[in-house]
Copies of this chain bind each other. A is one copy, B any other.
Amino acid sequence: MKTAILGFGVVGSGAFEVLEKAGYEVKRVLDIRPHDELGDKLTANYDDILNDKEISVVAEAIGGLEPAHTFVVKALKAGKHVVSSNKHLICTYYEELHALALENGVTLRFTSSAGGGIPWLYNLKRSVRCDDIYKVMGIMNGTTNFILDAMISDGRDFDDVLSEAQRLGYAEANPSADIDGLDTARKTAISSSIAFNTIIKEENVDIFSLRFIKKADIDYITSKLNKTVRYLGFGVKSEGGASVFVEPALLDSDALESNVRKNNNMISLFGRDVGRLSFFGQGAGKYPTGNALAQDVIDILSGSTELSFAPEAINVDNATLERAYYVRTKADVSYDFFDTVEVIDGSKYITTKKITVSKMHAVAKEIRSLDADAFFAGIEG
């Protein structure tokens, strides 16, 4: 049993080094760019991998939907196990790819698609086997955690820290996927799908962007509310269904997440038997993520079988969970669920009573239409 890696970028090259160093041969690497160090292993023709009977595991690290989707489908149909680090692919095609894997008697693994180097999805799936997982929650994006940590520690404003993050390579030139929450939403959808044994799509996830947070919010949250802020993805199962959302969240200073500094990640599951299990580590990077991709490959080479997957229909509806919120806005609005309202320098700083997630996200759209700079965050605990 040998392995091929698709894509020799940051993650693919990291996984290549990890596997070779540990004595697992990577027979071929697919890339259209030249990589002299790969010698004969390099090919730009996917058929060289597809038709090679010695290659039983295909590790996809291309990213994006195409050609990754076509390549993965072909690998599964050819009876090859597939490992992927591609959250966009998994979030979009989870149901199809898993059905194909089952149909062809092979394994599909994607631990490195959420949490970078953290063995999160793998452990989550292991927990689901024999426990009722009713909640997943976590810091799943290093860029936004770096920004919040620097704003809180150094008293700086959002734009200033974002520029630094871009200079350091922690944030993209176009940072929207990170700071507007799509990256966290995809990871939350994948995590919730596994936790609740169902299919949750990125369009099911309500999102509050982080980009509207200001130094004034940090000051108010810290000194008046005695809380700290992190950017979290949530999946919460209740009697009525499941709520899945991404929000800035106000936490007590002794919460575990409050001490997650810089661009690190921490993701947790809550099981009826096992209680809370939390996993901390580096959420991105060549060697951490490469290691996570390699670990999935080695599991398959070591004979670990995938459990069968029969997704159940579940009512994904953010009206099934209530929580309290923090709102900062200049808009002249008042709702009956507002609890405390304080006006400072012309801005209202509001905490709300508990309302449903869906209601708050709907109201947030109304408020934002009046005040493009308004900021919204959930309040934990």
Query: Interface residues, chain A, CB within 8 Å of chain B?
Result: 14, 18-19, 21-22, 24, 117-119, 123, 126-127, 129-131, 254-256, 258-261, 266, 268, 271-282, 285, 287-288, 290-292, 294-295, 298-299, 302-305, 307
Contact = CB atoms under 8 A, between A and B. Distances in A.
Contact of A281 (B18, B117, B274): B274
A118 B277 contact: yes
Contact of A18 (B130, B275, B291): B130
A295 B131 CA distance: 10
Contact of A302 (B255, B273, B307): B307
Q: Which of A131, A261, A285 is most buried by chain B, counting CB atoms within 10 A of its CB?
A: A131
Contacts of A281: 274-278
A295 B254 contact: no
Contact of A131 (B259, B268, B271, B291): B291
A42 to B, nearest CB: 22
Contacts of A295: 126-127, 129-130
9 contacts: A18-B130, A131-B291, A254-B261, A258-B259, A272-B287, A273-B290, A274-B282, A299-B304, A303-B305
Nearest to A257: B259
B259 A288 contact: no
Given A126-B295, A255-B259, A304-B305, 15 more contacts: A18-B273, A19-B130, A21-B130, A119-B277, A126-B299, A254-B261, A256-B260, A273-B291, A274-B288, A274-B291, A275-B287, A276-B280, A277-B279, A277-B280, A299-B304
Nearest to A268: B280
Q: Is the interface of A mostly helix, strand, loop or mixed?
A: mixed
Contacts of A255: 259
B305 A291 contact: no
Contacts of A303: 303-305
Q: Which of A14, A291, A294 is packed against the most chain B CB atoms within 10 Å?
A: A291
B117 A275 contact: yes
Nearest to A126: B295
A278 B279 contact: yes
Contacts of A304: 299, 302-305
A280 B260 CA distance: 13
A119 B130 contact: no
A292 B294 CA distance: 24
A355 to B, nearest CB: 29
A150 B322 CA distance: 32
Contact of A298 (B129, B275, B299): B129
A379 to B, nearest CB: 18
A262 to B, nearest CB: 11
Contacts of A19: 130
3 tightest A-B CB contacts, nearest first: A22-B130, A278-B280, A273-B287
